[in-house]
Amino acid sequence: MHAHLEPSAILADLNEPQRQAVTHGAGPLLVLAGPGSGKTRVITRRAAYLVGTGVPARNILAITFTNKAADEMKRRIEGLGVARGMWVHTFHALGVRLLREFGELVGVLPGFSIYDEADRLRVVKEAMQACGVRDVLLRPEAVQDEISNAKNKLQSPAEFAGWADTFEQRAVARVYEKYEELLRERNGVDFDDLLMRVALLLRGHADIVERLNIRFQHVLVDEYQDTNHAQYLIARYLSERHRNICVTGDPDQSIYGWRGADIKNILEFERDYPDAVVVRLEQNYRSTGMILQAASALIANNRRRKHKDLWTENQPGEPVYVWRFSEGQDEAEQIADTIQRLHQGGQAYSDVAIFYRVNAISRGLEESLRIRGIPYRIARGVEFYNRKEIKDTLGYLRILINPADQVALLRIINTPARGIGKTTIERLLATAERQHRPLLEVLRDRGVQAEMKGAGKKLAAFVKLLDQIEQAARGPVSGAVSAVLSLSGLEEALTKEAEEGGEDRLANVQELVTAARRYEEEVEEPTLADFLYRIALVSDQDQVDEKAGAVMLMTLHAAKGLEFPVVFIVGLEQGLLPHENALMQSLDVEEERRLCFVGITRARQRLFLTHARQRMIRGVTLPRAASQFLRELDQSAARFEDYSREPWDFGGGRAQAEEEQADPDGFVALHDHLPPEEGQRPLRPRAGGGSKWNHQRRRSSEFGDEDDVRIINAAGEALQDTSVYADWKPGTLVRHARYGVGQIVWIRPGSGQTRAAIRFARHGEKTFILEMAPIEKLQR
DNA sequence: TGGAGCGTAATTTTT
DNA sequence: TTACGCTCCA
């Protein structure tokens, strides 16, 4: 039936499976796309192809996870000559759109505010307080996680309460109920609501599902491996009738399980849709043979996956470099040196990326890069919108759209300082609570103002200010932002601050005005509400700008979907990657492995995996073992090089040669010889260079690597006898203020810092510094 | 009322 | 290390 289609640009240069996916007609389609296999190309071509076969663009819905991916897809589809009008959204943006249309059916009123992570935590704390749940008992963050998980599963507070069997869970259930009540009062939704409410809407309203099914004849979902239950349901409902659902993804790149993403969704797609056509994209166009080989070998260690045979016609290229260092600083220095050398050899800075598991690692790297004058950028876009001054400004705007938004109101009521203090605010809150009226209404109440004497005058002035802003904000969005800045006094306060030589936070808020202008130009019908929604949905990943002319630093999570000619992954150490929290449950190690796999497969030509034998994190230096993932790589695709100094001969330990031979990880100790770099100077050896650390004697308590542990323990036992922890031994029962009763797994004394690992029934094993942690020994 | 300074506590990834 | 919350002081 597509005979009239010319083999146009749409089908040009596609390989066979790609072609098959693009030209698939009606019915469910699963595209299992390995890294670098041209997945985005397939999706965009498929969308264009569908339009070519007569499907109106506006009847196609494409769903992505990040705004960046959505924008990219739009751009490319338009580049293929397809008219605008296709629905290309993130799940969350789609949620906003549908809730603005149908939200009232699920208790979301027009003008609703989106509560971000920080806002929502405030509300959780408030709910905990209202329920009398003390935050020393249950961390607000943990409660928030539980609520989030419940929402992902569409569990209402009542349903959650039904499940709860422990004391803590019942407490969470109460908080959850209160939390929902507070959000409802304020007409606020959190990120999870954007999905959950839509899923509930679709579940409860067959007529709406029907309407939307007519609207969306084809549904395409990208990164399907990252969908959670709510997203799964949304995709399902939206394609219920026509069953034209095309999902693309890769189980091996599922890295958001901790946030509720369910890898089962993609693994069991064929069970959900028995007639699904499955296409595997296994040819990799991105990486060298060696890199791909290492990645394949690593991921083969996972059980929960769908087998794929990744292959490439690319050159084998250089081996994957695995570098070992004595400590984190060395690692950072050598990486910076290497980047500098690569740059001198003609490699653009923007060709290089450094990935790490946790943000905390970036500091040392930044330092080393800065010293050398190497430009770098950190992918942390949310940061901008999370700045205090930005959130303050947005607070004023949020109130305009949603007068019930109490979080925003409390934020701005005394920012900048206008003499409305804690006591006044507390009285207002009490009144609002007692009379069941919105805070803003109470604030506007002349009677209330009169009661408050001096403070009341200030309240009246504040109310007047809000009215003025409202007047001024009737015009264009950027005008509204400027009006807030000038009228509220924020501008004045920030100017003063800037003049006094502080951080230039004025520039940041001015940037917000620029962002508003840009928004006005981009969108056909700009509105303040829509502008705020967009800002609320900005994420880290959206801010990754590969063309910035700078080395990119980012977490492994943020790296998904990107590619770079040169990639460094740092901190490949047990406890860091895989992360220690994941090591507690063996299933999570698979996700850590996938995370590593994602990082590795971002590299096109050169890949460096590094680890240090000890690393300082949060001011504490700890010994670190090499990551198990380094052992799981295809060893023939890797080259192990040891740059660490004086390999562990302290106190007349083993000879160096012995150490080399005994090295279980197969590292080559580097003394004078260095890794080959085509046409370039070899690396400078750090070892013989009289580095500043060479002569520094480390305290033995900082070590703990295998054999060294014995030495420390011997020293430790002597120390232990006299310490308060003398009778704390493995097996001893203790109580932690938060985690409850646990049992000591191991205990290791040090100078003023006794470390111990304690296993808890419900929280797994955790390591503490006993002197610092709220831990007591159980009597008897 | 507001700010500074202190002590304390804990530490992942973020649409 | 750092961030937050609390108290105390101006």
Q: For residue A556, what pLDDT is reported?
A: 92
Q: Helices in A523-626 by DSSP H: which ranges?
A: 528-536, 556-559, 580-583, 586-600
Q: What is the CA radius of gyration of chain A?
A: 29
User: What is the number of residues in chain A?
Assistant: 780
Query: Which of A7 and A263 is assigned the larger pLDDT?
Result: A263
Q: Which residue is nearest to nucleotide B8 (CA to C1')?
A: A772
Q: Are A758 and A765 in contact (CB under 8 A)?
A: yes
H/E stretch holding A579 reads none
What does the CA dihedral A369, A370, A371, A374 come to, rounded to 10 degrees?
A: 60
Rounded to whole angstroms, the Cα distance separating A369 from A429 reads 49
Q: For residue A660, what pLDDT is reported?
A: 40
Output the distance from A512 CA to C3 C1' rounded to whole Å: 26
Rounded to whole angstroms, the Cα distance separating A710 from A688 reads 29
Rounded to whole angstroms, the Cα distance separating A761 from A758 reads 10
- Residue A684 has what DSSP assignment? P
H/E stretch holding A553 reads strand A551-555
Q: For residue A753, what pLDDT is reported?
A: 57
Q: For residue A2, what pLDDT is reported?
A: 41
Q: For residue A675, what pLDDT is reported?
A: 35
Output the distance from A655 CA to C9 C1' rounded to whole Å: 61
**Which residue type does A648 have?**
W
Residue A701 has pLDDT above 50, yes or no: no
Rounded to whole angstroms, the Cα distance separating A390 from A513 reads 10
Q: For residue A4, what pLDDT is reported?
A: 39
pLDDT per residue as tens digits for the range A509-519: 888 888 889 88
Decide: CB of A382 under 7 A of nucleic strand B: yes
The whole-number average pLDDT for the span A54-77 is: 91
Residue A402 has pLDDT above 80, yes or no: yes
Output the distance from A432 CA to B2 C1' rounded to whole Å: 24
A505-522 vs A490-499: helix crossing angle, rounded to 10: 130
Decide: CB of A752 under 7 A of nucleic strand C: no
Mean pLDDT of chain A, nearest integer: 81
The residue to which tokens 């969350």 are assigned: A92
pLDDT per residue as tens digits for the range A572-617: 998 888 888 787 766 688 999 999 999 999 999 999 999 998 888 8
pLDDT per residue as tens digits for the range A614-663: 888 877 788 888 999 999 999 899 999 988 875 543 333 333 333 343 44
**Chain B footprint bases within 7 A of protein beta carbons:** 1-3, 9-15
Residue A549 Ramachandran class (φ > 0 left, ψ -120 to 50 alpha, else beta): left
Catalytic residues of A: 39-40, 222-223, 253, 602
Rounded to whole angstroms, the Cα distance separating A540 from A383 reads 8
Output the distance from A125 CA to C4 C1' rounded to whole Å: 14
The nucleotide closest to A739 (CA, C1' atoms): B10
Q: How confident is the model at residue A80 (pLDDT cuts 50, 70, 90)?
A: confident
pTM equals: 0.77
**Which residue type does A226 have?**
D
Output the distance from A758 CA to C1 C1' rounded to whole Å: 24
Output the distance from A666 CA to C3 C1' rounded to whole Å: 41
Residue A18 has pLDDT above 70, yes or no: yes
Among residues A630, A629, A638, which one has the least CA distance to residue A317? A638
Q: Are A763 and A739 in contact (CB under 8 A)?
A: yes
Q: For residue A34, what pLDDT is reported?
A: 94
Q: For residue A82, what pLDDT is reported?
A: 79
Rounded to whole angstroms, the Cα distance separating A439 from A402 reads 12
When mean pLDDT is compared across A29-43, A319-333, A761-775, the lowest value belongs to A761-775
Q: Which residue is nearest to nucleotide C2 (CA to C1')?
A: A618
Q: Are A711 and A697 in contact (CB under 8 A)?
A: no
The nucleotide closest to A135 (CA, C1' atoms): C5
Q: Which residue is nearest to nucleotide B12 (CA to C1')?
A: A358
**Chain C footprint bases within 7 A of protein beta carbons:** 1-2
Q: Which two tokens stand for residue A354?
A: 């450094």
Q: Are A424 and A460 in contact (CB under 8 A)?
A: no
Q: For residue A712, what pLDDT is reported?
A: 29
Residue A144, Cα to own-chain centre: how many angstroms? 16
pLDDT per residue as tens digits for the range A194-245: 999 999 999 999 999 999 999 999 999 999 999 999 999 999 999 999 999 9
Q: For residue A455, what pLDDT is reported?
A: 78
Q: For residue A737, what pLDDT is reported?
A: 65
pLDDT per residue as tens digits for the range A500-558: 665 667 777 888 888 889 889 888 889 999 998 888 877 666 665 666 688 999 889 88
Decide: CB of A618 under 7 A of nucleic strand C: yes
Q: For residue A632, what pLDDT is reported?
A: 92
The nucleotide closest to A618 (CA, C1' atoms): C1
Rounded to whole angstroms, the Cα distance separating A665 from A630 reads 8
Q: For residue A544, what pLDDT is reported?
A: 57
Q: How confident is the model at residue A356 (pLDDT cuts 50, 70, 90)?
A: very high
Share of chain A above pLDDT 70, in %: 80
Residue A296 has pLDDT above 60, yes or no: yes
Give the end-to-end CA distance of chain A in Å, rounded to a whole number.
Answer: 81
Share of chain A above pLDDT 90, in %: 40
The nucleotide closest to A540 (CA, C1' atoms): B14
Output the distance from A125 CA to C8 C1' rounded to whole Å: 25
The nucleotide closest to A455 (CA, C1' atoms): B1
Q: Which residue is nearest to nucleotide B1 (CA to C1')?
A: A421
